[in-house]
């Protein structure tokens, strides 16, 4: 196959090419064969795959040229703060949005309700990035030693997880816990946070299709909080879920309990290499 000069493709075509490459690699195809299949160089294919596994979620996003992040905002600063507080203090089911965890669509509906503004999903993505709320892969920000262990795990263990998920009709979710840095001009002002430490924490899941779901909270991770999040996740998906996460001590206390809530046999846990640091923001 003749090689494609990806630089000459429009952003949407570049995104489709990257997604196709990643799907092939996740199925166990070698870098050489995957590169030949999609029509790009092995070097470029390897670069895309490495960025994906480092948690660089931008690699799968359409990068439109011209307008910078934050230009032509649809919400006023006051409206942004209102939406942020709702995300922090409420869950979608409390607002009758038809789901239990925050997604881009749920946030879009919230903005329409609160501000009377119709916002595109792309704009929601930009707001989440600016606020620091975007769900991340649990592999983001790891050191060199951990990255080597992760790459080894990816080659030896992850393909069997993918195969098993396909056999059982399960959906893979990458589970992450993180502290959100606050106090910048685009994020919630520290003075408005009702907590002594002024911290916001996020627990989130991210599928291989980059569909993110999250919940915000203002206290350290507890068994009760994690159980609450997982129960909401199982309700929203209504299918078996394969959870992939680092070895978080709270996670191991919750998942051995038979059936989180009333969701017996709804999940399976797969841990990343033990050398990867916990992102636990305690």
The CA distance from 33 to 13, in Å, is 20
DSSP category for residue 43: H
Say what the pTM is: 0.70
Which of 101-105, 124-128, 177-181, 250-254 has maximum average pLDDT?
101-105
Q: What confidence tens digit (pLDDT) does each residue in 63-87 have?
A: 554 444 444 458 888 999 999 999 9
Residue 22 lies in a domain: yes
In this model, does residue 143 exceed pLDDT 80?
no
Distance of CA 196 to the CA centre of its chain: 28
Give me the domain span that covers residue 34: 6-60
- Mean pLDDT, rounded, for 222-229: 85
pLDDT given for residue 193 in this prediction: 44
Cα separation, 193 vs 188, in Å, equals 8
Residue 38 lies in a domain: yes
Tokens of 64: 């439109």
Residue 159 lies in a domain: no
Token pair in block for residue 75:
């919400």
Return the bridge partners of 201, or none. 179, 217
> What is the DSSP-derived secondary structure letter of residue 132?
T
**Banded model confidence at residue 95, pLDDT cuts 50, 70, 90:** very high
Any domain includes 13:
yes
Question: Within a domain: residue 257?
Answer: no
Dist. CA 244–CA 20, nearest whole Å: 22
Residue written as token pair 């090419």: 17
More confident residue, 214 or 13: 214
* 248 in any annotated domain: no
Name the helix (H) or strand (E) containing 215: strand 212-217
Whole-number Å distance between alpha carbons of 127 and 73: 9
State how far the alpha carbon of 2 is from the alpha carbons of 39, 41, 241, in Å: 6, 10, 39
Residue 28 lies in a domain: yes
Average pLDDT over residues 241-270: 68
Count the neighbouring beta carbons within 10 Å of the beta carbon of residue 120: 11
Count up the domains in the chain and report the number: 1
How many CB atoms sit inside 10 A of residue 41's CB? 14
Structural domain includes residue 164: no
> What φ, ψ does residue 63 adopt, rounded to 5°?
-100, 100
40 pLDDT exceeds 90? Answer: no
Quote the CA–CA distance of 149 and 205 in Å, as a whole number: 22
């Amino acid at each position: 196959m003749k090689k494609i000069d990806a630089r000459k493709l429009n952003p949407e075509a570049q995104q489709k090419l990257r997604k196709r490459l990643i799907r092939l690699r996740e199925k166990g195809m070698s870098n050489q064969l995957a590169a030949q299949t999609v029509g790009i160089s092995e070097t470029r294919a390897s670069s895309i795959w490495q960025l994906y596994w480092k948690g660089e979620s931008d690699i799968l996003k359409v990068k439109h040229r011209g307008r910078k992040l934050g230009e032509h905002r649809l919400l006023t600063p006051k409206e942004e703060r209102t939406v942020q507080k709702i995300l922090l203090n409420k869950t979608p089911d409390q607002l009758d949005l038809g789901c239990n965890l925050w997604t881009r669509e749920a946030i879009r509906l919230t903005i329409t309700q609160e501000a009377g503004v119709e916002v595109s999903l792309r704009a929601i993505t930009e707001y989440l990035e600016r606020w620091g709320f975007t769900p991340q892969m649990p592999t983001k920000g790891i050191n060199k030693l951990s990255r080597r262990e992760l790459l080894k795990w990816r080659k030896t263990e992850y393909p069997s997880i993918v195969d098993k998920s396909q056999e059982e009709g399960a959906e893979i979710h990458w589970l992450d816990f993180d502290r959100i840095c606050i106090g910048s001009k685009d994020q919630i002002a520290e003075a408005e946070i009702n907590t002594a430490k002024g911290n916001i924490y996020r627990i989130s899941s991210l599928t291989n299709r980059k569909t993110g779901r999250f919940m915000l909270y203002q206290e350290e991770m507890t068994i009760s909080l994690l159980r609450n999040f997982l129960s909401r996740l199982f309700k929203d998906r209504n299918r078996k879920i394969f959870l992939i996460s680092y070895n978080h001590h709270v996670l191991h206390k919750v998942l051995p309990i038979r059936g989180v809530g009333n969701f017996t046999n709804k999940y399976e846990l797969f841990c990343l290499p033990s050398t990867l640091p916990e992102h636990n923001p305690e």
